[in-house]
Structure formats: C-alpha cells, structure tokens
Structure 1
C-alpha cells in the first residue's frame, strides 16, 4: 500500500489503536514505550488484537523496540501518541536519531505541541529538515486492555492535521490517506492548537467532580454522569474564551458544540444534550483518582498555553484561569510554572500579527 515506514511512540490506548490499524492496513510498524513490562508483553505476543465496532482482528507488529532511538531511526512518519506533558522529553531524546525529511506527528498536540517540539528541534538539530505536525484531537475513542488488546469504541469522522512548515500538510495527509482517510489538512497550526477540545472536556469536569472521584465507591460515567447541565454551562463559558482567543489571532475555530457535530455527527441545541447523545461517550468511565492526566496533562499543555495566549491578545479569561488555579490547588502543583509558556512555544515577545505570520510560513 505504501513504502513509508512508521514508528509509533507510546503503547497506551491511542498508541495500540494506531499501531494495530496501521499494521492491519499493510504498513510496517515499529512500536516503542518507556514501560519495559509493556514492551515485554508486546514482544512476547508479537501481535495487537484490535476490536473495532465489535469485530476483532489480529495485527502483526513489525518490530517491538525497547529503545526510542531504534524505533525512530529510519522511520518516515513518527506518531507520538503519549500524554502531551511528555512531548518535550520525547522530542529532546529522539532528536539525535531522526532522519532528514522525517515527519513527527503528535496525536494530539493539545495546545502548542508542534510549536514546542519544533522549537526544540530548531535548537538541537538546526540543520536538519524535520516536519513537525499535530492532530487537533485523538482520532479514536479507545481503551487498551493488557497485555495486547485495544477496543475502539468510536472513530471521528474528521480530524484536522497541521504542520510546520505549513505547506507540508497536504503531502503528509496524502501519505496517511490509505490508512486514515479521516485526516484532513488544517489551515495552519493555530487551527489545531486552538481547536484543543481536550482542554474544555477534561480539566473542568474533573475539578468539579473531585469529591465524587475521591469518595464514590461506584464507578460513574465520565461524560454522561459527570457532565451535568450545570457542569456543561461552565464548559460553554470556558469554550467561549477559547473561541475568542482564536478570533483575536485571526482564526475561527468551531465551538465544542460545533465540533461534536463535525466529529461525531451529533445534532443538538446545547453542549449538554450533544454530550449525552454521543454514543462514543456512553461507557467511558471516570478516573478513580484525582492523580490523572485530565489535570496533569490537560492543564499545563492545554489551559495554561491557552490562558497565556489570551493574555497576549488582551482577552479576559476568568473561567479558564479559575480552573487552572483550582486544579493546581487540588494537585499541589504550579501548572503555570511547569506548563507551556510563550517562551517554550517560541512565541515570546511576539504580537498577534507576528504569530499569524509565523504559522503561515
């Protein structure tokens, strides 16, 4: 189907889903994860069992790579399917091994992922041409079951991908089309970064359901039970701040309600109604602890850079900033200090016009 060689970094929910689907559709895939036990399990099996829409198939893994360098060396397209708070460390570690002309795709980039990774590569390997891209969200709603199974509960109809440089996106999309026709080229990196729906759907419901998460003896459904009409109203206010930041940067991004219609075909009059009607969300269970990526990932790599861009653009963001502060108190962490700053994104001392010019280059 293609001569492109793929590497998948991360063997969690999304990583196994991507590696399994790529292999089932004829690609040679290397997979790496920094969990030795996980690697040992996959190496022993040599396969990934993919269940999609109730149908199970067995995919043969091209190579299970205990080392990151082995996985990345010689790969044409590298899928980084790990929590966004690991992107910085992974980019730094893989930089020496990436080949000229390779493509690194973050699934997803959250807010500013590709900007941060490109900034790292520009510093560490300035003479090497590497395309860096990001997906606006993860293609699948999926769950991994040890040792080698992944269940895909839903696949989005369309997921935007943007690249740095901007004009590389269409070539990347064409290479991926035989495997994932749902990917479409975004206008630029602002579309994917400011279209970060995870920043809306993850931190606030977790904060607002903290007592339930910590004390309930019975698991509850994250979206269906955790996002009540009142919680959904707060999400809509945070979402409106995000949409306004994008507007100030010259980009129209869909609201969360519009995104659910585009991604899943859900037609509804309110965000609460749309979430309740989404079949992909019906059985997704809430985390059992507050020590969860919905805070430790989505706040520092989602809300923090969004709030920083809001400040740059002069957009008041009281609801976004309130959730950042409350999440930091709950977790005992200074997310503003550790999160993606304008400096880490390579945007320090830029104006809104400067940023627009850069991402369109």
Structure 2
C-alpha cells in the first residue's frame, strides 16, 4: 500500500540547473512534478520535451525520469500543487511573483529554493502590490538544495543533495507549518530564526564576487578554461572571504541571528570536508572541483551575488551603523569591471520598504 504524504504535487518554477535537477530528483522519488519556465525562456524546456524526460546521474547510478507536466503555462503548472517551488536566480523573484500571482490559491505553500536574498518578502510585496490577498504561506532556504550541473538541457549530474540547510518562513511565526510541508521534499531543512538568518548565511555573496574579482584577468584570458574553486581560491584569496565573513558576523550579531562560519557551513551542507584551511576545503571538494567557470565578468557570480547579496549586506550595515569596508570595496571594483552601478541597481533596504526601520523594527518585520 502506498504511503500517504502531506505533499504529492509539486510545481517547479524555473528550468535552469536547479529546476531541471529538482524535477529529476523529486520525480525519481515519486512526486507528481510539473516543470515550468517563463514563455520567453521556453527553449529551456525543449531538450526535456524532445527527450521525453530527464536522465538523472547520481553516484554511478542512472535513472530516466518523466515529469508529469512540462509547460510554459503557469496556470496549468501550479493548479492543484501543494507546494510551488521556485528554483530561480534571486534577480528573477519579482518577475515570477507577477506571473504566479493571479493563479495562487489559498493554503498553497511557496518555497523559494535558491540563494537567500529576502526573497520571500519580495515575493509577498509583489503580490500584495497587485491587490492579491490569497492566503498562501511562503518560505525560503539559505541556498539551493543541490550541488549540480545540467548537460545539454536534459541530463543531470547530481554532485550533492544538501545535508543541512537553513529554512525560514516569512513571517517566521509560520515556520513550523511551512517547514513541515517542505521537509516532505527535503529532510535536510532545519529552522532558522527568520529570513535575515537565511539571507546572511547564503554563502554565494561571500564566496563568489571577491575571488572572482581577484581572478578577473584569468577569467577573461582563459576563454572558459577556468575553475574558480580549484585554482582561483588560493590561501591569499581565502583571506578576503574570511574578511567578508567577519563583516557578515557583525550583521548577524546585530540582528541576533545565528552566524555560521564559512568553514562550518561548507562542511554542514556537504560541499567539503571539515579541513583546517579554508582554501583547501574548496580545492579538495569533490562537489566544487568539477565546476568550471565563471566564463565572463557578467556571470551571476558577479552580477547576482553583488547586486542581490553584497549590496543588501552593505545597505543593512549602513542602517545598523556597522562598517563594511571590504564588502563595499568589492561592490565598487566589481561594478567598475563592467561599468555597472551596483549601488543603483542592487537590492537595498529602501527597495524592500525598510529604509526607516531601526534594528528592532527590522527584526519585528520578519517575525
């Protein structure tokens, strides 16, 4: 007799590495999966449609998985889904919220499974600004639940299913209810205090922009033959990561949320062994080692992780009276590389509608 689960139908929005992997993994585990992509990116679905499914490779095992539905029709994708999971870049949250909003139903769970960037609050802000008051519950993880790469659009090489990831609902008083459903998909999720905690323990802004900036010449010169984690994060470069982490800790302490040191976070998630030296953790990682790139100075390692990560952290520091000189310098230099004003384009407390709040107000907002 088939065991009944609280969640059976899952809509996966976004058909990049994370979405294709989630469709394969959750489909393999018996969930009814609907894979969706925005119409303007519907070509991302073509390889899956043409092949009739997704080839999942995981630790020398292979399985061919056929999603229940592959579509660029959002209404069909989310109709009847208990969980709507967004596996998208942080930059795309507002666009997906606008697309989803008219078709959301009471009691649906929205799970933003990507790099934490106050995404739940931003999603809610959009749908409320559209006059939609559907009674959904929403939450987010600190990072994507996978270490993965997709080949030719329909073949997944799954390096890692995260062993432990922070999760919070927005507001945090809903975390027990939302987490109960999301743990049906990923038992590795553990409760965080609030979405400040998930946002400030997202490792990407700490790991990517600084090392990429220090390897900018190599990235441009290599023509694609560059491995950031294996060759770009040397002992000296790792000191910059640690300097960013020190500034991040000050932000966490001010907001009374858990600070997870970089070395510990890498080991807890399962990316690396718990080694003494940070650069050796990256270099020896079986998850990070095979990952090539970034291939250009406009990679998400720069654009997303500065604009949606470091700019927000800097903005938070200014509001709390905490200096972030290393973070600020990376924002400035990263922008100069491609003549981009990250301060203007990036995510700030002002854009979140939180510019006039003090520390207590910022905590109350997410609670």
Q: For this structure pair, what is the TM-score category when the shorter chain's length is used for normalisation?
A: over 0.9
Question: Please, what is the CA RMSD of the aligned residues?
Answer: 1.7
CA distance in 1: counterparts of 2:97 and 2:280, whole angstroms: 39
**1:272 to 1:58, Cα distance in 2 relative to 1, 3 A:** same
CA distance in 2, matches of 1:56, 1:125: 46
| Residue of 4, 7, 10 corresponding to 2:8 | 4
Alpha-carbon distance in 2 for matches of 1:102, 1:179: 15
Q: 2:350 aligns with which of 339, 343, 346?
A: 343
Q: 1:77 aligns with which of 83, 93, 115?
A: 83
Task: Report 1:235-246 matches (<5 A).
Answer: 235-246=241-252
* Structure 1 residues without counterparts, runs of 5 or longer: none
TM-score (normalised: structure 2): 0.93
Distance change in 2, residues 1:73/1:340 (3 Å): farther
Partners of 2:100 and 2:144 in 1: CA distance: 22
2:239 equivalent to 1:227: no
* Structure 1 residues 193 and 217: CA distance shift in structure 2, 3 A: closer
SS of the residue corresponding to residue 248 of structure 2 reads: helix
Partners of 1:277 and 1:156 in 2: CA distance: 18
Choose which of 271, 277, 280 in structure 2 pairs with 1:273: 280
Residue from 213, 219, 236 that aligns with 2:219 = 213
Residue in structure 2 matching 1:353, options 357, 360, 365: 360
1:321 is aligned to: 328
When the two structures are aligned, how many residues end up with a matched partner? Answer: 360
Q: Distance in 2 between matches of 1:276 and 1:345?
A: 37
- Equivalent residue number for residue 158 of structure 1: 164
The gaps in structure 2 that reach 5 residues or longer are: none
Aligned with residue 299 of structure 2, among 281, 285, 292? 292
Q: How does 1:1-361 map to 2 (within 5 A)?
A: 1-2=4-5, 3-34=7-38, 35-217=41-223, 219-264=225-270, 266-360=273-367
Secondary structure of the structure 2 residue equivalent to 1:134: strand
**Aligned partners of 2:329, 2:42: CA distance in 1, in Å?**
38
- Under a length normalisation based on structure 1, what TM-score does the superposition of the two structures give? 0.95
Range with greater deviation from structure 2 (292-301 or 70-79)? 70-79
Alignment partners' CA distance in 2, 1:282 and 1:248: 35
SS at match of 2:287: helix
Answer yes or no: is the 8 Å Cα contact 1:75–1:99 preserved in 2. no
Post-superposition Cα deviations, 1:5-45, rounded to whole Å, max 9, x if no partner, equal 21111111111111111111111111112322222322232
Distance in structure 2 (CA, Å) of the matches to 1:359 and 1:271: 32
CA shift, 1:176, in A, is: 3.4
Q: Encode CA deviations 1:217-238: one digit per residue, 9 max, x unaligned.
A: 5713210101011110011101
